[in-house]
Amino acid sequence: MVRYQRLRWIIAAPLCALFTTCGVLDVFETPGPGAVTFQYAGQTDLRTGDRAAFAVTVQVDGVELAAPRLLVEVVDSAAVALTPTGDSLVAKKPGQADLYIRLEQSLLIGEYPDTTVRLHVTGGGGQPP
């Protein structure tokens, strides 16, 4: 009985070494995060009272996502605000604000990538709606 246990270890040890050095175990690992790029299409320089639509496209490993789930927030809402639909900016008063954009599809890429767009508001124009 002891002889068979020793024989199993003698066979198992080289096989384990073979699997780990040949990369066979890499097949069972989850894929790492893909290369994510954001493309912001909209105004970054606004005048008080302006309302500006914007769009964001997202690519993962060079392939554009058809309908990415995005979280979009304005960090300083005193200068700029999002409309209730979240697809336009409203310039409220002179200053700067950051538009924070985060991709919410973590199962696709393994993490929550994000980007920030700096917005500038100058005086003039009318009162914001």
How far is it, in rounded angstroms, from Cα 80 to Cα 121? 8
| 55-60: Cβ within 8 A, 24+ apart | 55/87, 56/101, 58/103, 60/34, 60/35, 60/36, 60/108, 60/109
pLDDT 10s digits, 42-83: 999 999 999 999 999 999 888 999 988 899 999 988 999 999
Query: For the chain, what is the total number of helices (H) and then of strands (E)?
Result: 2, 10
Q: How confident is the model at residue 112 (pLDDT cuts 50, 70, 90)?
A: confident
User: 54 near 43, Cβ under 8 Å?
Assistant: yes
pLDDT 10s digits, 31-40: 455 688 999 9
